[in-house]
Structure 1
């Protein structure tokens, strides 16, 4: 089911701390841009390039027709010709992240014959405080340098409870998926690396200090990976630290224990000061996870500012393509990507409308359909995770969807690590996803030959079937349904060789 045909953020909503992402729909270029491009490719009359017009400073994803160095260089030249500056270029993807204050930038680059699509990554101007800010104007500046001491922000869920003493016995979630039984066999291998693409990890936490691979950690907030220790430390949110604890908190007589305490985790920080995860950071995050040899990535967020990115919109479609290319590239490089399904109690297989986007400006109600995707959780090949509560039922906040949800895991009232050396509880599909990432780490430890596709199939095959309740909403069979997918993940089954 992982490679499903159904096209159907930091996870926010009422619970705030959980974040979710499918297969990219075709990106449609506006008729004027398309006709100009066709004339250029056919050798006919070229329409003149739109003139530079001073406008808002914006960031863009610009996609080459093909993913190679030559095509990407041509796209970089098109960016510069349109009065833009390159933030980051990925020849492996054929993706260029650019910044420009030219109001005609997108229209200009779309006319270049090497450009497949181009679109703004947000709906409001880049602020001077934004980590990607290059200055005014963008044109003529050199490629940006990575920056540090940036924070994830106000829209993340607050931790409900802080308790400094050991509480492993209160981790109902670990018992529910057979972690004690699994640990009697193995706690996982330190050759397995899980990239926590999130808000950073407290590298001094007593339950995480030995688990964090500092050499593989970085901040992607500027769009370019910065490996300095300060850059990937959390500042205003414990979200990433909480996620990391669920995956790999050490069994050391202190606090709690994670699903795979023998595995390593890396902090890949993608959340900016205002609590947003924009495409430029997310793409950098997937590329960094791949470059550092991660076996698994956990993604408890959705890419802002659109809860659903629609392929028939020129801007949204271009970003959808760019993020999808990054996810697919990381998978080809050996990374199994796991993502939270989201906290809007929405049927992702039957989307109708969205009134929460864009969340960086004024949201508008709009109709959506199967071509509008929550990314990265709905990118094809990503393991999409719904949330369960202590009684085994689906958490009321959790998104669902037949053919969309792959597996389920505990996500309500989850105790884990928080910044400053403490412990706290939180709820959301953000909390469910790292349980699956942890089980995948156990699987990678006991099945070292397995690649991303094999790990995903093992997760599904070893999950415990959970039938639909008689609520008239859940559809499907016990072995695969809208609420639980293939079932509740099993750490105990993961260690059976």
Structure 2
């Protein structure tokens, strides 16, 4: 379909809007050529994923990105008039070559970055093929965050002739797009099947015109060029709603397009996923007040689609602003509960279910995954030869019965005398007593890291250390322990972030620091006030600013922490340390681990709340609206209740953690307010 204007309703849509800068659409692909004439005058920004190294972009990724972005943002009067030329565009280079193009970690990071920049519509050009339809936990987490934020994700269903599922298109809240030939029939290569039921649609996927890297234009085909047509349509319709005075609700637009699609026709109609996009019908529902149920008669097959038992299709429908947007009972409308589950509960449930991979599908970890883990350190020999070598070298003789090799203090003493031997061991990092990583020091400070590992081992043996933090990069390589357990390697290139402590000591030290800072702030505030009064009285002709800390002191922090408060903070820290299950490569898990490693913000919240008569109730996490460019920020939420006065409003404390770097950092200050009941 060389001319998208031949789609029913597109000409009316173009007359309604050319897009609106209040609508931000992100495109996750390679790096497009934005100085192409088609983009002249477009409000678009191109960024490179912060997680990528400095390798060059491949021609294929750049060409593909240039083509699909022009379908959406090509300017009026150019050779490629896009569907939403006046909307804002954010191009995120996530897959720049064959190694990174289908990485689920890269896709997840790009989605999180798009959300942090305020994107309401996210186009993911990638298709990670899978024979099971399962997705890795980090991608599940990112897609869930997008849905909770009110954003939508559009992705191609894939060109594997139905032999594979594609992630993220197969996920139940992602709009999966199949490709139609010019005659309206599904193209023979487009993927289909139950995993796409209830959240899919077909768009023109043959002879789609787009920009070429050399400044010319070219026609392309495939689901990956059909998907940007849908993204452009959703961007334009959302813009038209905004210009009509409505709030931007791309999820509403997505649901209307699914519900009003026309049944596929022509040969191979059984391979159709959803139905053919019908822009004219969607505009009638959204702008003319036509009830969506009026299209149920000839669209009954689409509306009646029921997911297979192994592929639930749940599309949460946003609250409708007016009665004409009400939907008939189909799709996800019958799956809503009276009270939505907590985001963390959903995250844990969705991440841990159905992620098993068949032997023919390798985990998609194409480059290091940032990790910040909390657990314990031990060592392993890997094989009997290495074990016997250490037994002889340490003076214990041969065989299993020597016992000396299994004594941590004996091993530390031996390594003190022979530091180079630490490299022969496998340094195991365990979470909740489960071996998870083989810590592998790298770089010029590797010897320092080995020394630190030995010191932590000694501290654990003596009982002064019970918890260890370990930042690093989870790699594709693995190590096999003596008992046959296979664990992933974790590279660490420096000492920063490697700590060992006991929760009781950390709680006491953090509370002491918070209390001391509060007293110091009080003294500074009094001095500043006296200085200001002196200036006002004319006794001093030089003005110094009043210390902000003194004017914003939380008075209850000046009350010394009691043993009960010490114990409460320790209990909370241990709740975080020993929660299960946990994956320290997931951004939200890294944020929690950093919060419980730093401890200062937690101690501040507990000291203020418990001195006010509250008691700890629960914790939670949210993707933070406060983030800087390149950041990946999470809100840690602590909730307290008043046990003596149940009708008294609860109190929430929030602070922000940025996990964009290997070692997360706290951002800003602790905030507090009355919680919503």
TM superposition score normalised by structure 2: 0.38
Alignment-derived partner of residue 199 in structure 1: 30
Q: Distance in 2 between matches of 1:268 and 1:232?
A: 13
Q: Distance in 1 between matches of 2:120 and 2:18?
A: 16
Deviation at 1:244, TM superposition (A): 0.6
Q: Distance in 1 between matches of 2:26 and 2:280?
A: 19
Deviation readout 1:389-437 (Å, 9 max, x if unpaired)? 1111111221123516621110111111121322111110001001110
Alignment-derived partner of residue 228 in structure 2: 434
Q: Contact between 1:385 and 1:408, CA under 8 Å: does it hold in 2?
A: yes
Deviation readout 1:101-143 (Å, 9 max, x if unpaired)? xxxxxxxxxxxxxxxxxxxxxxxxxxxxxxxxxxxxxxxxxxx
Q: Distance in 1 between matches of 2:280 and 2:74?
A: 15
Deviation at 1:445, TM superposition (A): 1.0
Q: Contact between 1:414 and 1:431, CA under 8 Å: does it hold in 2?
A: yes
Q: 1:462 to 1:404 in 2, by over 3 A?
A: closer
Alignment-derived partner of residue 379 in structure 1: 171
Q: Distance in 2 between matches of 1:327 and 1:440?
A: 18
Q: 1:335 to 1:377 in 2, by over 3 A?
A: same
Q: 1:41-440 to 2 correspondence within 5 Å?
A: 171-214=2-45, 217-220=46-49, 222=51, 237-251=62-76, 253-274=77-98, 276-303=101-128, 306-308=129-131, 311=134, 320-346=136-162, 374-401=166-193, 403=197, 406-440=200-234
Q: Contact between 1:221 and 1:281, CA under 8 Å: does it hold in 2?
A: no
Q: 1:235 to 1:340 in 2, by over 3 A?
A: closer
* More deviation, 439-448/428-437: 439-448
Q: Contact between 1:302 and 1:377, CA under 8 Å: does it hold in 2?
A: yes
Deviation at 1:310, TM superposition (A): 5.8
Of residues 239, 261, 267 in structure 2, which corresponds to 1:445? 239
Deviation readout 1:287-311 (Å, 9 max, x if unpaired)? 11101111111122213xx534565
Alignment-derived partner of residue 253 in structure 2: 455
Q: Distance in 2 between matches of 1:223 and 1:284?
A: 11
Higher helix share: 2
Q: 1:294 to 1:450 in 2, by over 3 A?
A: same
Deviation at 1:484, TM superposition (A): 4.5
Q: 1:323 to 1:213 in 2, by over 3 A?
A: same
Alignment-derived partner of residue 89 in structure 1: none
> SS state of the match for residue 183, structure 1?
helix
Deviation at 1:279, TM superposition (A): 2.2
Deviation at 1:241, TM superposition (A): 1.0
Deviation at 1:250, TM superposition (A): 0.7
Q: Contact between 2:184 and 2:266, CA under 8 Å: does it hold in 1?
A: no
Q: 1:442 to 1:232 in 2, by over 3 A?
A: farther
Q: Contact between 2:178 and 2:191, CA under 8 Å: does it hold in 1?
A: yes
Deviation at 1:237, TM superposition (A): 3.2
> SS state of the match for residue 466, structure 1?
coil
| Count of equivalent residues | 279
Deviation at 1:261, TM superposition (A): 1.7
Question: Any gaps of 5 or more consecutive residues in structure 2?
Answer: 288-677
Q: Contact between 1:223 and 1:280, CA under 8 Å: does it hold in 2?
A: no
Q: 1:344 to 1:405 in 2, by over 3 A?
A: farther
Q: Distance in 1 between matches of 2:8 and 2:28?
A: 23
Alignment-derived partner of residue 400 in structure 2: none
Deviation at 1:262, TM superposition (A): 2.0
Q: Distance in 1 between matches of 2:278 and 2:211?
A: 22
Query: RCO (CA 8 Å, sep 6+): is it higher in 1 or 2?
Result: 1
Q: Distance in 2 between matches of 1:233 and 1:174?
A: 32
> SS state of the match for residue 137, structure 2?
helix
Q: Distance in 1 between matches of 2:105 and 2:227?
A: 22
Q: Contact between 1:196 and 1:268, CA under 8 Å: does it hold in 2?
A: yes
Q: Contact between 2:124 and 2:153, CA under 8 Å: does it hold in 1?
A: yes
> SS state of the match for residue 203, structure 2?
strand
Q: 1:490 to 1:321 in 2, by over 3 A?
A: same
Q: 1:270 to 1:280 in 2, by over 3 A?
A: same
Q: 1:33-48 to 2 correspondence within 5 Å?
A: none
> SS state of the match for residue 233, structure 2?
helix
Q: Contact between 2:31 and 2:61, CA under 8 Å: does it hold in 1?
A: no
Deviation at 1:457, TM superposition (A): 1.1
Q: Contact between 2:156 and 2:227, CA under 8 Å: does it hold in 1?
A: yes
**Higher Cα radius of gyration:** 2
Alignment-derived partner of residue 263 in structure 2: 466
Q: Distance in 2 between matches of 1:491 and 1:296?
A: 21
1:490 equivalent to 2:319? Answer: no
Q: Distance in 2 between matches of 1:232 and 1:452?
A: 31
Deviation readout 1:7-40 (Å, 9 max, x if unpaired)? xxxxxxxxxxxxxxxxxxxxxxxxxxxxxxxxxx
Q: 1:492 to 1:210 in 2, by over 3 A?
A: farther
Q: 1:272 to 1:248 in 2, by over 3 A?
A: closer
Q: Contact between 2:174 and 2:199, CA under 8 Å: does it hold in 1?
A: no
Q: 1:470 to 1:410 in 2, by over 3 A?
A: closer
Q: Distance in 2 between matches of 1:491 and 1:201?
A: 31
**C-alpha RMSD of the superposition:** 2.9
Deviation at 1:233, TM superposition (A): 10
> SS state of the match for residue 239, structure 1?
helix
Deviation readout 1:293-345 (Å, 9 max, x if unpaired)? 11111122213xx534565xxxxxxx622111111112222321011111112
> SS state of the match for residue 424, structure 1?
strand
Deviation readout 1:133-171 (Å, 9 max, x if unpaired)? xxxxxxxxxxxxxxxxxxxxxxxxxxxxxxxxxxxxx83
Deviation readout 1:38-81 (Å, 9 max, x if unpaired)? xxxxxxxxxxxxxxxxxxxxxxxxxxxxxxxxxxxxxxxxxxxx
